Structure 1
């Protein structure tokens, strides 16, 4: 496939942004359905057999009429607006699909006006991009932010499992910092912590804000170190309880994930002995207290 084919605008197809919007809408619809009043109970007396309604079958008379197709009068159908020329500029469509959660008229217009390189440079300087809609929209999701201690004091910790993913999806859909949000999603996948994990759950909001979002566009070494010090990662991979003193054998979970998934990779040349050695190096690496 040629570059021209990749960059050529095409008919609208579902993208990440529309999928996220659909997921948010489905969640709202499910909630509304669950809260709707139930159907009225049947009034038939107990034991009564329902009456059967029988109707005589009818046979439609054959017809020889030729079906007609309605033709709209000339000029009654509005034509679609012309596709802006800048959207067909080489690279515009390609950049929008690869570096955002889905092309929109606004995003395509921005890239077309600035050019791909200048638009990417502006997105990399994400803190300079005003994003007031995100702050307003995500303020509803109270359990998507705050320290583990604050969340524990609030109670209803299970709401982290709901609020954090929903606020993340909302950011992906409406944020002006599209490249930043795509990068946040990438690092969440790479340095993954399951928000459903009981030990890690209350630490996930600060993992999102202080680890992933703070270092998403920075140095990988800084991000890796921050993840290694976070309560979410330490609890999720059992590192917070790993000890090697008094003859204990340290837990290898974090050491294995660090080498296999976070850094060198499964085919990176390390051995089982290396995993054991790293687990001993990290033994005692824990939290000063539960929170």
Structure 2
């Protein structure tokens, strides 16, 4: 599957989504914002894979929002008409952009980001919506919006404040400084740092394969519970996991796991079912 911004492959129940515009530092053009949720939703809704890996090509993971989105005639800075009506429309536009990254949060399956070089601006928004992040030694994260006179608005602050200490979010947001990969690891933004992109992808694909062997319903339940716990109180989280287990507890899957371990083989679990969206 090839899109204008991505190459997509699915093998051994692992979907690999790769940025494919290295000559432009994988900047996020207009097609990107439609293509990404279409790809992720198709994989997830149709149960085409058990996990998604997002990586990139070239020197940088992404340089962030392409300037054409701001400067062309229909861009976000376009003028004309009543200023209050224009402001209301712009708010809806920002919500649409946010929705492009919400697809990672909303997916039933985990999403792992493998980041090399710069992860700038909206790239931080995007990777903060992933379940797990890894980086190369030369990688850096930058909330660059402040450097062009705007507030980051596509998901950085609501998510990043849940991932790293607030003081670091404030320093990055106010000053527009780069956060190097090693420091990102120290404060918990990435799980580990690797000397090269090849080494990083070897690790990421190994982890993806390991996750893909687990019971998909249990993995989906774990993701749902973690996301719910992030957004709710401990009491609400405990209540919800009890309710979830009442409907999703799967003794046959557990018995298969026990049998596979006893027989020293890999377990075989059923895939998630495709999502029905029409009657």
TM range (shorter): under 0.3
Q: Which has the larger radius of gyration?
A: 1
Higher strand share: 2
TM (norm. structure 2) is 0.23
Structure with bigger RCO (C-alpha 8 Å, 6+ apart): 2
TM (norm. structure 1) is 0.22
Higher helix share: 1
